[in-house]
Amino acid sequence: MAKDLCGYCQRDITGLLIRCVECTEFDLCLQCFSCGVESGPHKKEHKYRVGHVGGPAAFELEKPWSLAEEHMLLDAVEQYGFGNWSDVAGHVETRTETECEEHYVQYYIHGNIGKATFPSESTSRVTDHSCPEGGPLSPSITTPLPPLELSLQEQQELGYMPLRDDFEREYDNEAETLVSGLAINAEDDDLDLSVKLSCIGKYRVRLRERDRRKRIARTHSLISTSVIPNKNCKTPNPKRKFAKEDREFVEKMKVFTPFQMSEDLERLQDGLLSE
């Protein structure tokens, strides 16, 4: 490693040095600089910057960076962010913006340290096991249910939109009034926040109940069988009349028949009465 000599006393410089910005390759030791020496074209009024020499270096360079400068560079990039070279150079103090940028890019990004830190290809790849290869992500969400076969009149009577699988008027249609007027304000205290959070919790409970009823209606085909009959038409399935003993038995068995289709319910009742 080449030694740095003082341009005035010609002694080896260790530690900090003063480098003249206006002169070419002219350095002074701290003692000569403090005395205000002048030599040849160098004047004491010239601009200067503080440098550091001596000690081991991390990389073999013609003008090596000291370990202290390397540490200051890395600390500055972490503090000010990559690309803010003016702030980085101000933190390092002994190097210019261009030197800081070129040194960091060459050794910490494109060098061996950068290759080990930023691999060109990602070694970890997340595999999605919820759908077939090349298929849609979350197919249960992206694949819509087949629309129900209802006439336009039946859709209007039910207030049902088959393509959206939704109703014009929801169950518990006023549930949104719990949260429609809520707003988080800066002056809210802990009690106000707790009250608002409880309102949101109640709203979520009502939404879950609404969604549960929709799933039941869709799963058990209750939508297509609940079309409002025309008053001028005769009821295709008039209500059955049972004897007193049978009627009492049927009433007792109703607790075992939730969410059953009408055909299944009648078949169950006929079988129980036959027994």
Mean pLDDT of 32-37: 87
Question: What residues pair up with 237 in beta bridges, in sequence order?
Answer: none
pLDDT band at 123 (very low <50, low <70, confident <90, very high): low
**What does the pLDDT look like over 63-85, one tens digit per residue?**
778 777 888 899 999 988 888 99
Domain extents in the chain: 1-54, 57-119, 151-219, 244-268
Task: Please give the share of the chain, as a percent, with pLDDT higher than 70.
Answer: 77
* CATH topology classification for 57-119: Arc Repressor Mutant, subunit A (1.10.10)
**What does the pLDDT look like over 89-115, one tens digit per residue?**
988 887 889 989 999 888 888 888 877
Question: CA-CA distance, 50 to 30, in Å (whole number)?
Answer: 10
What are 134's two structure tokens? Answer: 């090349």
Question: CA-CA distance, 155 to 175, in Å (whole number)?
Answer: 24
Equal fold, 1-54 vs 57-119: no
* CATH topology classification for 1-54: Wheat Germ Agglutinin (Isolectin 2); domain 1 (3.30.60)
Q: What angle do CA 173, 174, 177 make, to 5 degrees?
A: 145
Give the position of tokens 């609404």.
Answer: 210
pTM: 0.33
Taking alpha carbons only, the member of 214, 217, 227, 87 closest to residue 159 is 227
What are 13's two structure tokens? Answer: 């410089």
